[in-house]
Amino acid sequence: MFTTIARAASTALMVALLTGCSTVPPTTEERDELLQKAEAERQEWKKVDPDMEAFVQKRYGFAFFPEITKGGAGIGGGYGRGVVFEQGQHVGYADLTEGSFGLQLGGQKYSELIVFQDKFAFDRFKRNPMDFGANASAIMATSGASTNAPFTDGIAVFVRPLSGAMAEATISGQRLTYAPK
């Protein structure tokens, strides 16, 4: 069991390191596939919290990551690509690279939505890179989660588990990189 988890964690870390250099998918087909995957996952989010879409549309912009793969055994990492929208228009792509250190074991996949409250927060994100430290917290995407979502520095973060399990008590951070389409 430990060997399987260690392999999953190592694979996730290697994927993060190897693909972390390319924010924009290299081919038109891969860009279209990412956009379709993001739209399909957003439909799943709507089933979980029907008010989420209205919450997002009232804000200046958002970055949506349909699948982030994460793993760890002492040292962990994760990676995912997403799509970026500004005032309802698809304007670019982003990638999310995560690193962690501490008590952790496992592997998981999740989707993440980062909502930008205003133009100032969105422009800060676009200037690259944006780091989320230990003080950033994400809200689990559940029914009603968007109703009272707090913004920290103009940003609200939501996550929805997709598969896997991970136990952790870590110091971690996420780095976001933006590229226009």
Are the beta carbons of 60 and 122 closer than 8 angstroms? yes
Residue where the block lists tokens 């003080």: 135
Instruction: Provide the residue-wise pLDDT of the chain in tens; the chain has 181 residues.
Output: 545 544 444 444 444 444 445 788 999 999 999 999 999 999 999 998 889 999 999 999 999 999 999 999 989 999 999 999 999 999 999 999 999 888 888 999 999 999 999 999 999 999 976 776 544 556 766 666 666 778 888 999 999 989 988 877 778 888 899 999 8
For residue 81, the model assigns a pLDDT of 97
Are the beta carbons of 60 and 119 closer than 8 angstroms? yes
Distance CA 1, CA 106 (A): 10
For residue 121, the model assigns a pLDDT of 94
Distance CA 155, CA 61 (A): 10
Distance CA 3, CA 114 (A): 33
Are the beta carbons of 74 and 167 closer than 8 angstroms? no
- Give the CA angle between residues 23, 29, 30 to the nearest 5°: 30
- Give the CA angle between residues 148, 151, 154 to the nearest 5°: 150
Tokens (6 digits) for 144:
């009603």
Report domain extents, the chain.
2-180
